[in-house]
């Protein structure tokens, strides 16, 4: 079994992950329970990776889509934790 060739470029780190975070935040305008947002971020990561970033290579798209979604969830969680810590320190 051959592993897929994965090419990481500027799109991965600087555009795809922030795009997923922003799209996930747009979903917060809808009445969706909070526990579904990591799943929504993962689905968006798979969709962007399969249909935009790694078009034509399904294995690479699935592999990188998991990273896109996880990176978006981790980025949001880190920013939220840092913001709440900053607010609590000011008090």
Q: pLDDT tens digit string along 11-56?
A: 677 889 999 999 999 999 999 999 999 999 999 999 999 998 888 8
Closest CA to 72 of 5, 1, 19, 8: 19
What is the total residue count of the chain? Answer: 91
pTM: 0.83
3-class state of residue 12 by DSSP: helix
Question: Contact 38/73 with Cβ under 8 angstroms?
Answer: yes
């Amino acid at each position: 079994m051959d592993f897929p060739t994965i090419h990481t470029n500027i799109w991965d780190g600087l555009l795809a992950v922030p795009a997923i975070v922003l799209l996930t935040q747009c979903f917060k305008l809808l009445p969706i329970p909070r526990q579904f947002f990591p799943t929504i971020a993962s689905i968006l990561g798979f969709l962007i990776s399969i249909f935009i970033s790694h078009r034509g290579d399904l294995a690479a798209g699935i592999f990188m889509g998991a990273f896109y979604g996880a990176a978006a969830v981790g980025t949001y969680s880190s920013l939220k934790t840092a913001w709440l810590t900053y607010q609590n320190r000011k008090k």
